[in-house]
Chains A and B, each alone.
Chain A
Amino acid sequence: MNSIYASRRRSDKIIKVLCYAAAIFGVGWLCLILYTLLVNGLVGLHPRIFTQMTPPPGVQDGGLLNAIVGSLIMTSIGVAIGTPLGLFAGTWLAEYGRYSKLTGVIRFVNDILLSAPSIIIGLFVYGAIVVPMGGFSGIAGSIALAVIVIPVVVRTTEDMLNLVPNHLREAASALGMPRAYVITKVSYSAARAGLITGVLLATARVAGETAPLLFTALSNQFWSVNLTSTMANLPVTINNFVNNPDPNWKQLAWTGALLITVTVLSLNIIARTLGAERKPK
């Protein structure tokens, strides 16, 4: 009898130790990656990063200004296109089509798009925008990012609107408000924090995306704010600099990586704190 107890206790101990080890393993990687990024990125963090263009190979100094600006432009346009579309689509799913068969189909397709490889999105935009337009362009990059934003926003919008208690809608309808006004005045304000969370998460998701930009916006060594030509952006610049032996480029790539990671992680944390405040239980 005692041997059975002992063996049960032993296997329980082993599994517990393994679970602790797994948790340390997981958190350890995060710390290790952040540590490497900080050590390598901070060395090159200098005001000129934000005031100078990317340097040609072999030249010292230089910054990432054009890449940072390009990334900001494309991310903003992508989010600006994707957010309203996603918001309205999510609204339809949660408010009008809650009991429609089509909703199931759209939700399913949206889930597929949500986890579709981002490089496929890049190929799609290449075929749909870049080829007809006759060349790589910043606007193609923005559209690729918008296609990634849409499913994220649709998903969070639908989830958040579904959490709005129905009696709020019923009360507004009873006052004679048309459906559209019930949604915009009542549902949206009740779910506001959640909706903002969704947009922030979507922004965080696209801010670091590289694959869809590789052959839509390409990149640019120079100052580029023209949406119809190739546009510099941080992720692709990092991609190009990493594979180059030039130590200055390597340093710039680390600094750029640090900038992206800090941006993305802070967006994530802001979104989480915003979302946590309103999470109904």
Chain B
Amino acid sequence: MTDMALEPARAAAEPAFDRARALSAFKLGDKTFFWVTRLSALFVLIILGGIIVSLIIGAWPAIRTYGFDFLFTQRWAPSLQPTPILGALGPIYGTIVTSLIAMAIAIPVGLGIAIFLTELCPMPLRQPIAVAIELLAGIPSIIYGMWGFFVLGPFLADHFEPAIVSAFENVPILNTIFQGPASNLSLFNAALVLSIMILPFITAISRDVFATVPPVLKEAAYGVGCTTWEVVRNVVLPYTRVGVIGGVMLALGRALGETMAVTFIIGNSFKISGSLFAPGTTISAAIASEFAESDGLHQSALILLGLLLFVLTFCVLTAARLMLRRLERKAGA
């Protein structure tokens, strides 16, 4: 702002001030700036296009070789001659199962924390706890992976899983889902770490959308004698339903694509086992652990896995954004 005020003074001091020249410089700068910003904005679209095109080109040999069978084949034998047999069923299964378990844990806990923060928590503690939860989101995923690998995995394998296995030993179905032997590397461990990772996303968004509820609605409900839980269930949640679902979908998008945290602790086994305590793999874990040493059709198949993951997350994220946008419009109107 200061140089704005100085400008005329300086202009007056310079005797050979060419007004036309200054004006045209102004105009040129103005135009250049407009186009630089506009091209940068279009560059965002180019990145997305580039991602899609490069994935399709990379995956093309695998698409041609395997076609739709890729989705339904469980076998993953990249070194088989002459053509390796590669199927995505194992990673797809692992991705979906770990994400669903993670959501099942993270949604109630995340919403619980959001309710705690908006309705129950004493005022001075609200900000610190909210920041602490958001810092959880800032921790790099490789740290979660390491921690799951060295700390959580061994703990679960020693103390938690054997107890569950023996508790459900004689219950049909459940004794398949919770089948031993307990292992440091398993779908369940990966899902638990994932749930901790996505917790902050659910909490942060739920807290934001809970804050959009007009206080007068809540006060009215409290005024007619509702308990806190009744206010949350009958006023806050119905009012913010779309936004909460949007936040949950956003977290699901994260869970589907999360790589490093899962790669360490899932065991990287392409075989589908009925047990949650058995090792498995996810799409991103398969890519992360095999891509650097792959070539030819194997590499192409891994890129195809990446393309599948991208399509999957794209759909989930699109749904999430559309829902959140609907809420924004409602809040804006």
Interface residues, chain A, CB within 8 Å of chain B? 8-9, 11-12, 15-16, 18-23, 25-27, 29-30, 32-33, 36-37, 40, 84-89, 91-93, 95-97, 102, 105-106, 108-113, 115-121, 123-124, 126-128, 147, 150-151, 154, 172, 175, 177-181, 183-186, 189, 204, 207-211, 214-215, 218, 235, 238-239, 242-243, 253-254, 257, 260-261, 264-265, 268-269, 272
**What 7 A-B pairs have minimum CB-CB distances, sorted nearest first?**
A117-B257, A208-B140, A22-B112, A180-B33, A88-B40, A127-B54, A12-B227
Check A23–B113 contact: CB distance below 8 A: yes
Q: A21-B112, A185-B4 are in contact. Are A37 and B143 (CB under 8 A)?
A: yes
Check A116–B38 contact: CB distance below 8 A: no
A254 and B291 CA atoms in complex are apart in Å by 25
Residues of A with C-beta under 8 A to B33? 179-180, 183-184
Select which of B133, B143, B250, B288 is within 8 A of A27 by beta carbon: B133
Among B13-21, B23-31, B156-164, which stretch is in contact with chain A?
B23-31
Residues of A with C-beta under 8 A to B318? 112
Select which of B42, B200, B227 is within 8 A of A9 by beta carbon: B227
Check A27–B141 contact: CB distance below 8 A: no
A186 and B131 CA atoms in complex are apart in Å by 31
In the complex, whether B57 has a CB less than 8 A from a CB of chain A is yes
What are 5 A-to-B residue pairs whose CB atoms are below 8 Å? A12-B229, A91-B40, A106-B42, A118-B259, A211-B259
Select which of A19, A109, A123 is within 8 A of B116 by beta carbon: A19
Q: Knowing that A22-B110, A85-B40 are A-B contacts, what are 16 other residue pairs whose CB atoms are under 8 Å apart, sorted by A's residue number?
A: A8-B227, A22-B116, A36-B147, A86-B40, A96-B34, A108-B321, A118-B259, A120-B51, A124-B54, A126-B291, A184-B33, A189-B1, A215-B292, A235-B140, A242-B150, A264-B138
Among B66-74, B75-83, B171-179, B308-316, which stretch is in contact with chain A?
B308-316
Q: Report whether over half of chain A's contact residues are helix, strand or loop; otherwise say mixed.
A: helix
Identify which of B55, B150, B227 gathers the most chain A CB atoms within 10 Å of its CB. B227
Residues of B with C-beta under 8 A to A119? 257, 259, 284, 287-288, 306, 309
Select which of A91, A106, A120, A208 is within 8 A of B44 by beta carbon: A106
Check A85–B43 contact: CB distance below 8 A: yes
In the complex, whether B230 has a CB less than 8 A from a CB of chain A is yes
Min distance, Cβ B321 to any Cβ of chain A, angstroms: 5
Check A106–B41 contact: CB distance below 8 A: yes
Select which of B115, B135, B313 is within 8 A of A116 by beta carbon: B313
Check B147–A115 contact: CB distance below 8 A: no
Check A116–B310 contact: CB distance below 8 A: yes
Check A121–B227 contact: CB distance below 8 A: no
Residues of A with C-beta under 8 A to B150? 36, 40, 242
In the complex, whether B199 has a CB less than 8 A from a CB of chain A is yes
Check A30–B135 contact: CB distance below 8 A: yes
A40 and B38 CA atoms in complex are apart in Å by 49
Min distance, Cβ B228 to any Cβ of chain A, angstroms: 6
Q: For residue B109, which residue of chain A has the nearest CB?
A: A22
Check B287–A23 contact: CB distance below 8 A: no
Select which of B39, B41, B57 is within 8 A of A97 by beta carbon: B41
In the complex, whether B323 has a CB less than 8 A from a CB of chain A is no
In the complex, whether B196 has a CB less than 8 A from a CB of chain A is yes
Residues of A with C-beta under 8 A to B47? 113, 147, 150
Q: For residue A124, which residue of chain B has the nearest CB?
A: B51
Mask of B95-120 contacts with A, CB within 8 angstroms, 1/0 = 00000000000001111110111011
Check B317–A115 contact: CB distance below 8 A: yes
Select which of B133, B196, B258, B292 is within 8 A of A214 by beta carbon: B292
Check B50–A261 contact: CB distance below 8 A: no
Check A120–B136 contact: CB distance below 8 A: no
Residues of B with C-beta under 8 A to A109? 44-45, 48
Select which of A116, A150, A180 is within 8 A of B29 by beta carbon: A180
In the complex, whether B253 has a CB less than 8 A from a CB of chain A is yes
In the complex, whether B132 has a CB less than 8 A from a CB of chain A is yes
In the complex, whether B333 has a CB less than 8 A from a CB of chain A is no
